[in-house]
Structure 1
C-alpha cells in the first residue's frame, strides 16, 4: 500500500500530521470494528473486517512515511526502525565475551565451593549435578533459549536443596556465587532484563 492509497483509505491528506492520522484511524476503527457487527450477515461482517484491516494497514503506512514537520513544530530525530528479520540488530547483547568469561569463572568457583558439602547420595550425584548446572548455565547465555534457562533454574534449585541438606558455610557461599552467576549469564543471553535495558 502506497502512502497515497493509505491517505485515501483513512480519508486524510497525504501530508497530514500524526495527530490527524490517529484521529481518523480511531474514528474508522470504532465504526468498522468486527465486534460492532455481531449478529449481522456474514458478508457484511467480512466486508467490515476487510475494511478494518485496510484502515489499520493504512494507519501504519502513514505513520511510517516521512512527513514534513509543521512550521511551529519541534523537529524530533528518530532512530531508524530495526530490521525485524535480524533480531541481533534490534537488540545488542548487553555484555561481551569478557563478561561471559567472568560469569563462567564465578560459576566454576561456586561449583568448587559447593563440593565442600560433599555428595548428597553418591560422589556421582555431586559431579553430575554440578556439571549439568554449569553446562546449562553457560548454554543459557550462549543460546538465549528459555527452556535452557528453566532447566538451569531447576538444577540451581536442586543444588540449593542438596547444599542446605548438608549445610556448610563454603557450600552456601558456593551456591550464592552460582546463583548470581546463573542470573548474570541469563542477562547475557537476554532472558532477564533490568528496567533500564
Structure 2
C-alpha cells in the first residue's frame, strides 16, 4: 500500500481535530476515537465506495498521528518533555509514553518531606560510629534528590540500597522517631522517582 503524501503538522492537527501543539495524550485520544469510527470491521456489508473511503480516511488518520507525534517529540529542552517507547503486549507498534514534566513545586514538596525524615532519623543510633549515621543520611538525601533531577535508574537503585541500610539501622535502634523518619524518606524517595518517570503505577 502506498504511503500517504507528506502532511504538515497543521494538516495533521486538522485531520485529528486537535491543536498542532497538543499533548501526546490528547493526540492518542483523538486517534483512538477516529480509529474506532473508521475501523474496517464497522464497514462490513456496506457499499464498496463507503468502505473504501473509510479505509483511506483510516490511513490518513494514522499518518496524521505519526506526524503529530514526531512533531511533539522534536527537541524542546525548555519543556522538559521526554518520550520513551513502551512495547505493546499485543505485538502492535509501541505507544509513546510521555515522562512527567518536571515541576519545582512538586520537587520542593518531596524535598521538604525528605529532609523532615532525615531530621527525625538523626534519633537513630549509628551502626558503627556517629560519622556512619550522618554519612548515610547525607548520601540518602543526596541520591533521592538526584533521582528526580537526573532521571537515572542507577541513581534510583542506589537510593533503594541506602533506604534498606537505613531501615536496618532503624530496626536495630528501634526508635519511634527513627521509624517515622525512615517512613517519610521512603515515601519522599518514591515520590521523587515517580516525578522522574522511573516508577510507574499500573494505571499509568
Given the two structures, how large is their TM-score scaled by the length of structure 2?
0.58
Correspondence for 1:3: 3
SS in 1 for 2:127: coil
RMSD: 3.4
> Which residue of structure 1 aligns with residue 140 of structure 2?
133
1:57-76 matches, within 5 Å, as: 69=54
CA distance in 2, matches of 1:72, 1:157: 55
Cα distance in 1 between the residues matched to 2:192 and 2:113: 10
1:88 aligned residue: 81
Query: Superposition pairs for residues 1-197 of structure 1, below 5 Å?
Result: 3=3, 69=54, 79=65, 80-82=68-70, 86=75, 88-90=81-83, 91-94=98-101, 96-197=103-204
Contact 2:40 2:54 in 1 (8 A): no
Gaps of 5+ in 2: 5-37, 42-51, 84-97
CA distance in 2, matches of 1:122, 1:157: 18
Larger radius of gyration: 1
User: Which deviations, in whole Å up to 9, do the C-alpha atoms of 1:107-141 show, x marking residues without a partner?
Assistant: 10000100111322211101100000000001100
1:108 to 1:71, Cα distance in 2 relative to 1, 3 A: closer
Change in Cα spacing, 1:3 to 1:102, as seen in structure 2 (3 Å) is: same
Distance (whole Å) between structure 1 residues aligned to residue 202 and residue 167 of structure 2: 28
Q: Check conservation: 1:119, 1:125, Cα contact below 8 A.
A: yes
Is the contact made by 2:125 and 2:169 (CA closer than 8 Å) also made in structure 1?
Answer: no
- In structure 1, runs of 5+ residues without a counterpart are 5-16, 21-66
Aligned residues of 1:94 and 1:187 also touching (Cα < 8 A): no
| Inter-partner Cα distance in structure 2 for 1:154 and 1:104 | 19
Aligned equivalents of 2:188 and 2:99: distance in 1? 20
| 1:190 match: secondary structure | coil
Whether the 8 Å CA contact 1:103–1:181 is kept in 2: the answer is yes
> Would the alpha carbon gap of residues 165 and 19 (structure 1) be closer, same or farther in structure 2, given more than 3 Å must change?
same
